[in-house]
């Protein structure tokens, strides 16, 4: 398995501007604060965490929608922030995305044929006929009737719109698709359909996914690797089965216990974390999780733990591991 | 061949066909009479010169102050009477539609579209350009149009170009500000991010994704403002800073007719009536358009 | 024979629109004893929210009307009450927590103003007593610094805090019945755990009757004693929570449970073919027939009557007739 995407020491800080005309940056929101992970070809990497942990920001930087403050992102060995011209176009054809909200991810004023073909039109110079053929192909692949290319987004349901968004991302034969909460806004029975479709497409086309979600069951169902994020840092990283089997970091333990049971008999003791997630403007010193951690010791408030290897392939950022 | 392609692209930017779909449910509410009046206005503006029964600029002094046909001494030869120079009122009103229409059309293109374009660029690009442009807008909005037009006419002499320039120069800022606000919210939508992920250039995104989603607002503003623009132009002509004689203009006709209101009330009345009708029709059309285009206003 | 605390009999609510009559609630019946928690489960558009609004007689008018049925609260029919009498019921006897805390709180009023408004109307307390009660209620929902909170504005609080404040406003007048319409959907997993635990504690202390509307079976497993599954405006199955999870009898319930990914296994998710029917054009006979894997001829002809297959476990399906 070759490595498709490698993220090293990624940092993204947002300035908090003050002033009316000539705004000066006062403070910084440390949305992503030094993360490293990699995604292999044909595999799914699940990035899990609660709101504000920086997972969406990470995805935006990978998609070149935001510029990183520090660190490097290598796609097939090349640094993506330095890509220009033809290489940039190739990158755009290789890395696509599907976002959460099926209602705002499609331009209400465009027919879905145009929506789906846009990445193709912008990145290649094929004739109209060839583009049309490819559009029909891809619509059929995601389970939609190719004749519906003439219709407008509002004529489709939420689940169908996510399929359209998926078709749009697949039309350029990408190697990596970033899925930002692809099923959260959908009904329960439709979620299953879309997740199955994603898995089938991954098997058939050899796609790699960066799956961003807060739902642990979805991650288990779809991912091969998982990274747990808290307040801008990855606190645990490893293969899904290993992390699910043996949770190392206290936050991971709390997060897993917060996942609701699938049967009343499986109701177990919950770990209820005190307080709220602190602001990313002023993260706690030392380990960011220590104010809410029941196992914190003195060093936790002073020194920030590194993401270290605890078991083969299984990493955790905790002084107690 | 490529002009066709560009036109097609333009059509897609205006999102023409999706309107037809939207209007489906509202067609039965379409205000027919105002629609007819506006159609008549535009028709007269284009063909009034050829259809007018008499000359609009030359008159027979012997026929001056003839009353309209429904009064004593009036006849159907001059159905709306004649003015102080013996010119036929009906012909003057028909031909007078044109200058108003030209002013409205050019102001819409320069001020309306121009302001929208600047608003889109400012809202999408952001940064210093946005800040600077908005300060310019702040200054321009505060400036009274009539003062600007009068200044221009004093310096350069009154003419139709000066009227158009002065109105456009002030009106663009209103569009720029409102459209920029809309763009700020459209910009945050996922489909714009998706377009960037697909590799679309900024220009393509602004034309193909942002513009079609703000054009609603622009169209509604335009129709609602047409009335104001016409009145503005008429006021300028009324004050003498507008389109000069001998072109028949409704505003000047009202102005000149003021002194004769006791002996020949029809001289200022009929041009004023025509003006009021056209403005009202545009306002009603603008209201209907606003309701038809805003899905949230649709009643269940 | 004790009178049930809440008894809903054959409730029917319709929306009269220019496109036809939408049967949002089409014959819903259930009963609750005091202190019980009922879970109303279903996907979007099944009518669970409208059922709750109907109980409070807050269905959006003039399009929405309760056309049939009885809503008996401690024996009194709420449909027979005048608007003035209903206002005394809302807030004081029945209260409702809605899904989105940001729009439940008025952004231009402080928390103190909003909290004391309900207290003023129903308890007729003023001045020091009113503020005292406000502080008590905030302590009841475990808000760390009540004084500070009273002076704050909604936008200054986090999602979890806002939802607690909404809970406080609802509980300030000590209602006997609390309806919670997906209150934790917008909350993070760990905050959701805190909130659900809080709700359980309050319910135990105050012997509240609770109707919990959700689409998440996990929440149902954790919170509810009895469950009603809704589809296209009707309750298709109702049972004690354990019985429902052990033996989901109705084909829809069965399919829905199989469509949800679980933490424990990775087996392929089942999907339900087709789409929910449009509510203005319901199919004749059983509303689930077009999508049901066990469909028979009689299913398409007549809607099955409600049958009790075990003590407390009832459903509407021809399979069990």
CA distance A127 to chain C (A): 36
Q: Taking residues C252-256, what's their average pLDDT?
A: 91
Whether the per-residue pLDDT at C98 is higher than 80: the answer is yes
Q: Report the pLDDT value the prediction gives residue B22, as an integer from 0 to 100.
A: 53
C106 phi and psi angles, rounded to 5 deg:
-75, 120
Residues on chain A touching B12 (C-beta within 8 angstroms): 110, 114
Q: What does the domain layout of chain C look like in residue ranges?
A: 6-81+209-320
Which residues, at least 6 apart from C273, have a Cβ–Cβ distance to it below 8 Å?
Answer: C291
- Chain B neighbors (3+ CB pairs < 8 Å): A, C
Domain boundary assignment for chain B:
29-45+94-291
Q: How far is CA A3 from CA A45, A77, A176, A209, A305, in A?
A: 12, 9, 11, 13, 26
Q: Domain limits of chain A?
A: 3-223, 250-321
Lowest mean pLDDT among A61-70, A272-281, B130-139, C75-84: A272-281
Q: Between residues 36 and 75 of chain A, which touch chain C (CB distance below 8 Å)?
A: 50-51
Comparing A10-24, B241-255, C30-44, the range with the smallest average pLDDT is A10-24
CATH architecture for residues C6-81+209-320: 3-Layer(aba) Sandwich (3.40)
| B198:A168 CB<8 A | yes
The percentage of chain A sitting over the pLDDT mark of 90, rounded to a whole number, equals 51
pLDDT at A44: 96
Supply the pLDDT for residue A76.
92
Residue B298 pLDDT = 41
CATH number (3.40.50.620, 3.40.1280.10, 1.10.3720.10, 1.10.760.10) of B29-45+94-291 reads 1.10.3720.10
CA distance C38 to C47: 15
How confident is the model over A269-297, as a mean pLDDT? 84
Tell me the β-bridge partners of A178: A97, A210
With CB atoms and an 8 Å threshold, state whether A101 touches B21.
Answer: no
Mean pLDDT of A162-169: 94
CB pairs under 8 A between A and C: 108
Residue A123 has a pLDDT of: 87
Distance from CA of A249 to the nearest CA of C (A): 15
**Are the C-beta atoms of residues C138 and C161 closer than 8 Å to each other?**
no
How is residue A194 written in tokens?
Answer: 């879309």
- B144 touching chain A per CB within 8 A: no
Q: Is A79 exposed, middle or buried (0-12, 13-18, 19+ CB in 10 A)?
A: exposed
Confidence at residue B8, expressed as pLDDT on a 0 to 100 scale = 57
E strands present in B49-172 = none
Identify the closest residue of chain A to B5 by CA–CA distance. A128
Are the Cβ atoms of C263 and A217 closer than 8 angstroms? yes
> What pLDDT, on the 0 to 100 scale, is given for residue B295?
53
Residues of A within 8 A of C272 (CB-CB) are 189
Nearest-neighbour CA in chain B from A96: distance (Å): 6
* SS3 category, B30: coil
Subunits with 3+ Cβ pairs within 8 Å of A are B, C
Mean pLDDT over the full length of chain A: 89
> In a 3-state reduction of DSSP, which class is residue B44?
helix
**Residue A12 contacts residue C149 (beta carbons within 8 Å):** no
Residue A118 pLDDT more than 60?
yes
What distance in Å separates the CA atoms of residue C203 and residue C210, rounded to the nearest whole number? 8
3-state secondary structure of B165: helix
B7 class by beta-carbon count within 10 Å (0-12 exposed, 13-18 middle, 19+ buried): exposed
Backbone angles phi, psi at C240, to 5 degrees: -70, 150
Distance from CA of C75 to the nearest CA of A (A): 32
Contact A152 B18 (CB under 8 A): yes
Q: Which CATH superfamily is domain A3-223 in?
A: P-loop containing nucleotide triphosphate hydrolases (3.40.50.300)
The pLDDT value recorded for residue C297 is: 87
Kindly indicate the confidence band of residue C250, based on its pLDDT and cuts at 50, 70 and 90. very high
Mutant choice from C145, C214, C243, C261 vs A, greatest count of A C-beta within 10 A: C261
Write down the pLDDT at residue C19.
77
Residues with Cβ < 8 Å from A173, sequence gap 6 or more? A93, A205
Sequence-distant (6+) residues with CB within 8 A of B43 are: none
Residues with Cβ within 8 Å of A54's Cβ and at least 6 positions away in sequence, in order, are: A12, A31, A32, A33, A35, A229, A231, A232, A233, A280
Contact C266 A220 (CB under 8 A): yes
ipTM of the complex: 0.85
- The answer on pLDDT for A4 being more than 90 is yes
Interfacial B residues in 174-213 facing A (CB < 8 Å): 189-191, 193-201, 204, 208-209, 212-213
Q: What confidence score (pLDDT) does residue A73 get?
A: 94
Residues of A in contact with B131 (CB under 8 A): 21
**Residues shown for chain C:** 321
Which backbone phi and psi does C227 adopt, to 5 degrees?
A: -130, 140
What integer pLDDT is reported at residue A135 of this predicted model? 94
Q: pLDDT by residue (tens digit) across C120-172? A: 887 778 889 899 999 999 998 888 888 999 999 998 888 888 899 999 998 88
Structure tokens at C139: 């302590």
Contact residues, chain A, for C269 at CB < 8 Å: 192, 195-196, 221
A245 touching C, CB under 8 A?
no
SS (H, E, C) C62-112: CCEEEEEEEEEECCEEHHHCCHHHHHHHECCCEEEECCCHHHHCCCCCCHH
C295 burial type by CB count under 10 A (0-12 exposed, 13-18 middle, 19+ buried) = middle
Interface of B with C (CB under 8 A): 300
CB proximity list for A23: less than 8 A, separation 6 or greater: A17
Question: Is residue C22 a contact partner of residue C14, using CB atoms and an 8 Å limit?
Answer: yes
Nearest one of B100, B235, B239 to B164, comparing CA atoms: B100
Is the separation of the CB atoms in C270 and C13 below 8 Å? Answer: no
From B298, which residue of chain C is nearest by alpha-carbon distance? C18
CB pairs under 8 A between B and C: 4
- Can you give the pLDDT at residue C71? 92
Q: How confident is the model at residue C1 (pLDDT cuts 50, 70, 90)?
A: very low
CA distance A5 to chain B (A): 16
- Read off the pLDDT band of C275 (50, 70, 90): confident
Please answer whether residues B163 and B123 qualify as being in contact, where contact means their C-beta atoms are separated by less than 8 angstroms. Answer: no
Q: Decide: A249 and A319 in contact? Cβ < 8 Å.
A: no
Query: Which chain A residues touch B16 with a CB distance below 8 Å?
Result: none
C-contacting chains (≥3 CB pairs under 8 Å) = A, B
Q: Write out chain B's pLDDT in tens, 300 residues.
A: 445 555 656 666 655 555 555 555 456 678 889 999 999 999 999 988 888 888 888 888 888 888 888 888 778 888 888 888 888 888 889 998 888 888 888 998 889 999 999 999 999 998 888 999 999 999 888 888 778 777 877 887 778 888 888 888 888 998 999 999 999 999 999 999 999 998 899 999 999 999 988 988 888 888 878 888 888 888 888 787 778 877 888 888 888 888 888 888 888 999 889 989 998 998 888 888 877 766 554 433
- Nearest-Cα residue of chain C relative to residue B25: C18
Give how far B177 is from chain C: nearest CA, Å: 26
């Amino acid at each position: 398995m070759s490595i498709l995407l490698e993220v090293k020491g990624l940092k993204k800080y947002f300035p908090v501007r003050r002033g009316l005309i000539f705004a000066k940056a006062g403070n910084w929101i440390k949305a992503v604060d030094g993360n490293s992970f990699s995604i292999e070809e044909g595999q799914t990497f699940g990035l899990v965490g609660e709101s504000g942990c920086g997972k969406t920001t990470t995805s935006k930087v990978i998609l070149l929608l935001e510029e990183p403050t520090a660190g490097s992102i290598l796609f097939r060995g090349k640094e993506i922030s330095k890509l220009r011209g033809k290489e940039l176009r190739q990158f755009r054809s290789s890395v696509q995305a599907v976002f959460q909200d099926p209602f705002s991810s499609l331009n209400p004023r465009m027919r879905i044929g145009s929506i789906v073909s846009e990445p193709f039109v912008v990145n290649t110079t094929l004739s109209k006929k060839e583009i049309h053929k490819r559009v029909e192909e891809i619509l059929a692949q995601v389970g939609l009737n190719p004749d519906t290319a003439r219709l407008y987004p509002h004529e489709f349901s939420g689940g169908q719109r996510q399929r359209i968004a998926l078709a749009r991302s697949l039309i350029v034969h990408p190697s990596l698709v970033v899925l930002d909460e692809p099923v959260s806004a959908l009904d329960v029975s439709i979620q299953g359909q879309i997740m199955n479709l994603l898995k089938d497409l991954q098997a058939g086309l050899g796609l790699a996914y960066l799956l961003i979600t807060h739902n642990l069951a979805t991650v288990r169902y779809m991912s091969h690797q998982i990274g747990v994020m808290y307040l801008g840092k990855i606190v645990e990283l490893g293969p899904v089965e290993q992390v699910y089997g043996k949770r190392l970091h206290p936050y991971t333990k709390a997060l897993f216990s917060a996942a609701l049971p699938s049967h009343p008999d499986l109701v177990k003791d919950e770990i209820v974390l005190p307080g709220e997630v602190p602001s990313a403007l002023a993260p706690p010193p030392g380990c960011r999780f220590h104010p809410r951690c029941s196992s914190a010791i003195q060093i936790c408030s002073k020194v920030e733990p590194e993401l270290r290897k605890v078991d083969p392939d299984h990493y955790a950022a905790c002084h107690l591991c | 061949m490529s002009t066709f392609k560009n036109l097609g692209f333009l059509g897609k930017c205006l999102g023409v066909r999706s309107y037809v779909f939207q209007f489906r449910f509202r067609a039965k509410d379409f205000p027919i009479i105002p629609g007819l009046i506006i159609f008549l206005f535009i028709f007269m503006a284009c063909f009034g010169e050829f259809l007018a029964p008499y000359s609009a600029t030359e008159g027979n002094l012997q026929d001056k102050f003839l009353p309209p046909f429904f009064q004593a001494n009036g006849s159907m030869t001059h159905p709306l009477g004649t003015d102080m120079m013996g010119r036929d009122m009906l012909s003057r009103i028909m031909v007078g539609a044109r200058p108003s229409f030209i002013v409205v059309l050019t102001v819409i293109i320069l001020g309306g579209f121009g302001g929208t374009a600047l608003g889109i660029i400012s809202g999408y690009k952001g940064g210093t350009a946005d800040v600077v442009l908005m300060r310019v807008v702040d200054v321009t909005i505060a400036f009274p149009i009539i003062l600007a037009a009068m200044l221009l006419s004093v310096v350069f002499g009154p003419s139709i170009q000066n009227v158009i320039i002065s109105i456009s120069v002030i009106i663009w800022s209103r569009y720029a500000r409102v459209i920029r606000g809309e763009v700020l919210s459209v910009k945050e939508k996922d489909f714009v991010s998706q377009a960037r992920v697909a590799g679309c250039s900024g220009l393509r995104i602004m034309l193909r994704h942002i513009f079609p989603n703000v054009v609603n607002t622009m169209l509604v503003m335009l129709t609602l403002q047409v009335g104001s623009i016409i009145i503005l132009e008429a006021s300028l002509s009324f004050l003498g800073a507008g389109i000069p004689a001998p072109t028949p203009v409704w505003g000047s006709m009202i102005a000149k007719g003021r002194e004769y209101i006791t002996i020949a009330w029809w001289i200022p009345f009929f041009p004023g009536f025509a003006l009021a009708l056209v403005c009202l029709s545009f306002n009603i059309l603008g209201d209907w358009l606003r309701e038809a285009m805003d899905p949230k206003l649709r009643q269940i | 024979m004790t009178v049930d605390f809440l008894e809903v009999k054959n409730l029917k609510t319709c929306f009269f629109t220019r496109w036809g009559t939408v049967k949002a609630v089409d014959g819903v019946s259930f009963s609750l004893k005091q202190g019980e928690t009922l879970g109303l489960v279903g996907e979007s558009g099944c009518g669970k929210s409208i059922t709750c609004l109907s109980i409070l007689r807050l269905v959006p008018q003039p399009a929405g009307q309760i056309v049939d049925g009885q809503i008996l609260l401690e024996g009194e029919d709420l449909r027979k009450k005048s608007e003035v009498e209903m206002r005394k019921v809302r807030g004081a006897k029945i209260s409702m927590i809605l899904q989105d805390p940001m729009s439940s709180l008025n952004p231009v009023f402080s928390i103190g103003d909003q909290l004391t408004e309900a207290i003023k109307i129903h308890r007729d307390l003023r001045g020091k007593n009113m503020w005292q009660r406000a502080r008590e209620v905030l302590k009841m929902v475990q808000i760390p610094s009540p004084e500070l909170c009273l002076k704050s504005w909604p936008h200054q609080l986090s999602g979890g805090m806002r939802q607690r404040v909404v809970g406080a406003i609802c509980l300030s007048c000590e209602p006997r019945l609390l309806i919670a319409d997906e209150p934790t959907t917008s909350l993070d997993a760990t905050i959701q755990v805190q909130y659900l635990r809080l709700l359980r504690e309050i319910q135990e202390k105050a012997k509240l009757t609770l109707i919990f509307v959700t689409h998440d079976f996990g929440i149902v497993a954790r919170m509810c004693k009895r469950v009603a599954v809704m589809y296209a405006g009707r309750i298709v199955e109702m049972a004690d929570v354990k019985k429902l999870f052990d033996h989901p009898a109705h084909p829809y319930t069965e399919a829905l449970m199989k469509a949800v990914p679980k933490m424990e296994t990775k087996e392929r998710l089942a999907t339900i073919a087709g789409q929910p029917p449009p509510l203005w054009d319901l199919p004749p006979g059983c509303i689930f027939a077009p999508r049901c894997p066990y469909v028979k001829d009689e299913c398409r002809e007549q809607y099955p009557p409600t049958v009790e297959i075990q003590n407390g476990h009832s459903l509407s399906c021809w399979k069990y007739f």
